[in-house]
Structure 1
Amino acid sequence: MNTNTSNHPQRILFLHPNFPAQFRHLASVLGQDSSYQVVFATKRQEGTIPGVSKVIYEPSRTAAPQTHHYVRNLENAVLTGQAVYRVAEQLKSQGFVPDIVYGHSGWGPTLFMKEVFPKAELLCFFEWFYHARGSDADFDPNEPLNADDMCRIHIKNSPILLDLYHCDRGLSPTHWQRQQFPPEFHSKISVCHDGVDTNFFQPNPEAKLVLPRINLDLSHVSELVTYVARGMEPYRGFPQFMEAVSLIQQLRPNCHVVVVGEDRVAYGKQLPEGQSYKQLMLDKLDLDLSRLHFTGLLPYNEYLQVLQASSAHIYLTRPFVLSWSMLEAMSAGCLLIAANTPPVLEVIKDGKNGILVDFFNPEQIAEKVNLALEKPKDMMSIRNAARKTVVKNYDLATLLPQHLDWMLGKKNALNSLGFGKR
């Protein structure tokens, strides 16, 4: 059944500097349905989605060096907004006027959409609202904030606040993330996670890790500890993880550790030029490098093998955006050993579907890993419960139709797009 009763297909414009990011599944489904005409404006050249027209925007410059450092983020957002405005005007001249504009808030692509498309419904994906106190910024007592930091963080929300005011509706992926936004805007923000493909991220109890592409063969290994993050950085507890690894290696002489991710900082402060947290920790700690493996970023099929072969999966995060990787690991049946921070506590009950540890306590992390490796059969109920949690609350097959319903504002979107059956 076609949900569109007008003479032309319903027109959707996605806005995100990355492609396809959080909108991958939405754009893929809508692009395959003739009832919808889908355009995706992005800065990223790579990648295509069948049925989705991709347009590139490029800011004319970046924030000027003389701009006050509190407002450089806002200036960059305005420059991005201008670039998207120019692309939107081109689309309009070609006859594409969207019914719905759905963009990621913060970088600025959504800022001027109401000016160029005043009749379009503006939807925003609200991932994070910044606070100087009580969340990520002041979490580490060894990194105290000064007055300059607090004022800069306060101003960093400027483009997000403009979006909160102008948008028709917004969405956050978790309740914890929605909670960060000002209470007076909560009525505008729904909660729906992007979803995990639980059919892909399935357990395989017989899995052994062999990745010929990077010449990694751990098929002989019976104890495998895993860690996954976009970057190796304090926001995801990389220094504490590495300290725990040095202890785990002493406790478990046959244990191997696999680290998936890039040697970079995705979130938080950079080290001085030329330094990385990976090298910092390798220089600081006494480690058996023959049992410590850095894979870099992996394609999904290899990443899945890492999770399926894992004996214990360590996930550490500051009070910040919840990583997709934590839920993907749970879906693959990993034994999750995770920091007891608020984004994790929304999902994990200690001893039920995961094991909680103190973010700042490498000794406790190592102790819990040692216990898990000592008694693997006792951990099976926790592994099974972890997968059940994701299947019940974060399954893509359930959440994608809900996300579509919310986005399209139509309760029958579920059936019209063929998601009525599992």
Structure 2
Amino acid sequence: MKVLLIHPNFPAQLRHVAMSLGQATGNVVVFATKNPRHEWSIPGVSKVLFTPVQGEGLKAHRLANPVQDAVLLGEAMHRTAHELNRQGFRPDVIYANSGWGSTLYLKDIWPDVPLLCYFEWFYDPAGADALFDTPAPAAGEYRAPMLMRTRNSSIFNDLWACTQGLSPTHWQRSQFPQEFQPKIEVLHDGVDTDFFSPNPEQPMILGDLDLSAEDEVVTFAGRGMEPYRGFPQFMKGVEILQKRREKLHVVVAGTERVCYGSPRADGKSWKQHLLETLDVDESRLHFVGSLPYGEYRKLLQASRCHIYLSRPFVLSWSFVEAMACGCPLAASDTEPVREAVSHGNNALLFDFFKPLELADRVEEILDDRSLARRLGENARQTALTRYDLKKLLPKHLKLLEQTAIKGLKARAQSK
């Protein structure tokens, strides 16, 4: 089977699918990406680049920026697709991540090639995410139009053009317009539960940081440090916990950046702002940066309690990875979290906006080892039952094959 995989960031959500396809005899697999990642290659998978070209002097209206970015990516991928086609590569199926714009003009090159789209999120100005911490406008109140509507433009194109869609959780699928939901199958990416597995003997040693002699070590992990993932509430919870527990240490993995949402208007990072405004003991608060997978796994395995927060948004891989490692979890009581866990069974949940409640939940876990053990074991079992890569990867490959077959049938019927 000839497969074209597309994601601006290599290999992102398509990593395991790409690896499996590349290992199979007879497949021809091309991965188109904007990010070359020269240090990372996948056996059996050819990498091609698409590079957006910014027009000189071209400045878009602020509300049109998402459209312009999508068009530039779509144009770049169109050039790459044209060159692949000229070289004789015609895919049997295309699997692409939606929302970036790279799929916008593919049908101009291969009008009858079936398209499988990974739909992660649909932006709704009146949805749970947008109104989570912002009340709806009062009657007669004027608010400037939101970027969300224009951000959906390329997503709408994919919803219309795709042969088949998938979304990793029921919560994420439910955000899309109802008329398109029948095209979208719920199928999580899956987590390698052999790699992410419990190790009760793992000490908290990460590079020069050695907390192996400490009993109370709490963890937090994310790509960035931002309000979307509750970083301000987490830090306020740390302030409370440190005052209550003199021996508590907190380890934070992630980079000092905003991955979702807007940066602070004053130019400061959220980490900088919160360290300046909160009364925390930095000798017991350890920022270890972005960790390689092996070190990140150690962090989860050595954690006495792992804290996770998210707005009503995309469920993080890190949360399921923490579940797979058997972490006792204290997590925000929000929709994406509630789909994965339930309070008292495989996690303790708290109100996203109440750091005091966060601190109380963490203390419950630290003070009751039998509770912590039960929560961790149940979280691990949930990961094995619902999120195990060994079970879900074959379903992804089958869906890809079924999408290719749909294309064959459609071409046969058109003749």
Same fold judged by TM-score > 0.5? yes
Q: Tell me: CA distance 1:77–1:410, structure 2 relative to 1, closer, same or farther (3 Å).
A: closer
Query: 8 Å contact 2:93–2:403 — kept in the other structure?
Result: no
Alignment partner for residue 201 of structure 2, among 198, 206, 209? Answer: 206
**1:95 corresponds to 2:88:** yes
Q: In 1, Cα distance between the equivalents of 2:151 and 2:45? A: 32
Query: 8 Å contact 2:222–2:254 — kept in the other structure?
Result: yes
Alignment partner for residue 166 of structure 1, among 161, 164, 178? Answer: 161
Query: 8 Å contact 1:63–1:75 — kept in the other structure?
Result: no
Match for 2:110: what amino acid? F
Alignment partner for residue 343 of structure 2, among 341, 350, 356? Answer: 350
Question: What is the CA-CA distance between 1:272 and the residue it aligns to?
Answer: 2.7
Q: In 2, Cα distance between the equivalents of 1:192 and 1:137? A: 25
1:182 equivalent in structure 2? 177
**1:36 corresponds to 2:31:** no
Question: What is the CA-CA distance between 1:75 and the residue it aligns to?
Answer: 1.3
2:249 equivalent in structure 1? 256
Q: In 2, Cα distance between the equivalents of 1:316 and 1:58? A: 35
Question: What is the CA-CA distance between 1:155 and the residue it aligns to?
Answer: 2.2
1:400 equivalent in structure 2? 393
**What is the CA deviation profile of residues 54-91 of structure 1, one whole-angstrom value per residue up to 9, with x for unaligned ones?**
00111111797632221210111011101001001111
Q: In 1, Cα distance between the equivalents of 2:142 and 2:365? A: 44
1:70 equivalent in structure 2? 63
Tell me the number of residue pairs that the alignment of Structure 1 and Structure 2 aligns: 401
2:15 equivalent in structure 1? 24
What are the residue-to-residue correspondences of 1:48-67 with 2, within 5 Å?
Answer: 48-61=41-54, 66-67=59-60
Query: 8 Å contact 1:62–1:79 — kept in the other structure?
Result: no
**1:196 corresponds to 2:187:** no
What are the residue-to-residue correspondences of 1:88-167 with 2, within 5 Å?
Answer: 88-141=81-134, 150-167=145-162
Alignment partner for residue 221 of structure 1, among 195, 214, 227? Answer: 214
2:409 equivalent in structure 1? none
1:360 equivalent in structure 2? 353
Q: Tell me: CA distance 1:143–1:279, structure 2 relative to 1, closer, same or farther (3 Å).
A: farther
Q: Which runs of 5+ in 1 are unaligned?
A: 1-9, 413-422
Match for 1:391: what amino acid? L
Query: 8 Å contact 2:5–2:14 — kept in the other structure?
Result: yes
**1:390 corresponds to 2:383:** yes
Q: In 2, Cα distance between the equivalents of 1:311 and 1:12? A: 43
Q: In 2, Cα distance between the equivalents of 1:390 and 1:309? A: 18
What are the residue-to-residue correspondences of 1:316-331 with 2, within 5 Å?
Answer: 316-331=309-324
Q: In 1, Cα distance between the equivalents of 2:404 and 2:345? A: 35
| Secondary structure at the counterpart of residue 295 of structure 2 | helix
Percentage of identical aligned residues: 50
Query: 8 Å contact 2:114–2:403 — kept in the other structure?
Result: no
Q: In 2, Cα distance between the equivalents of 1:171 and 1:149? A: 33
Q: In 2, Cα distance between the equivalents of 1:156 and 1:371? A: 42
Query: 8 Å contact 1:62–1:76 — kept in the other structure?
Result: no
Query: 8 Å contact 2:163–2:403 — kept in the other structure?
Result: no
Query: 8 Å contact 1:132–1:150 — kept in the other structure?
Result: no
Q: CA RMSD for the aligned pairs? A: 1.9
Q: Which runs of 4+ in 1 moved over 2 A?
A: 62-66, 141-152
Question: What is the CA-CA distance between 1:148 and the residue it aligns to?
Answer: 5.0
**What is the CA deviation profile of residues 324-361 of structure 1, one whole-angstrom value per residue up to 9, with x for unaligned ones?**
00000010000111111100110111000101100000
Match for 1:285: what amino acid? L
Question: What is the CA-CA distance between 1:134 and the residue it aligns to?
Answer: 2.7
Match for 2:91: what amino acid? P
Query: 8 Å contact 2:116–2:164 — kept in the other structure?
Result: yes
Q: In 1, Cα distance between the equivalents of 2:2 and 2:175? A: 31
Question: What is the CA-CA distance between 1:269 and the residue it aligns to?
Answer: 1.1
Match for 2:255: what amino acid? E
Q: In 2, Cα distance between the equivalents of 1:62 and 1:159? A: 20
**1:336 corresponds to 2:303:** no
Match for 2:167: what amino acid? S
Q: Tell me: CA distance 1:306–1:142, structure 2 relative to 1, closer, same or farther (3 Å).
A: farther
| Secondary structure at the counterpart of residue 222 of structure 2 | strand
Q: In 1, Cα distance between the equivalents of 2:165 and 2:222? A: 27
Q: In 2, Cα distance between the equivalents of 1:105 and 1:333? A: 32
Match for 1:221: what amino acid? E
Q: Tell me: CA distance 1:108–1:210, structure 2 relative to 1, closer, same or farther (3 Å).
A: same
1:420 equivalent in structure 2? none
Question: What is the CA-CA distance between 1:273 and the residue it aligns to?
Answer: 5.7
Match for 2:346: what amino acid? N
| Secondary structure at the counterpart of residue 28 of structure 2 | strand
Query: 8 Å contact 1:337–1:365 — kept in the other structure?
Result: yes
Match for 2:212: what amino acid? S
**1:296 corresponds to 2:268:** no
1:416 equivalent in structure 2? none
Q: Tell me: CA distance 1:273–1:61, structure 2 relative to 1, closer, same or farther (3 Å).
A: farther
Q: Tell me: CA distance 1:192–1:64, structure 2 relative to 1, closer, same or farther (3 Å).
A: farther
| Secondary structure at the counterpart of residue 231 of structure 1 | coil
Query: 8 Å contact 2:70–2:154 — kept in the other structure?
Result: yes
Query: 8 Å contact 1:246–1:287 — kept in the other structure?
Result: yes
| Secondary structure at the counterpart of residue 364 of structure 2 | helix
Q: Tell me: CA distance 1:67–1:234, structure 2 relative to 1, closer, same or farther (3 Å).
A: same
Question: What is the CA-CA distance between 1:379 and the residue it aligns to?
Answer: 2.0
Query: 8 Å contact 2:95–2:116 — kept in the other structure?
Result: yes
Question: What is the CA-CA distance between 1:30 and the residue it aligns to?
Answer: 0.5
| Secondary structure at the counterpart of residue 47 of structure 2 | strand
Q: In 2, Cα distance between the equivalents of 1:366 and 1:399? A: 35
Alignment partner for residue 372 of structure 1, among 346, 365, 378? Answer: 365
Query: 8 Å contact 2:255–2:289 — kept in the other structure?
Result: yes
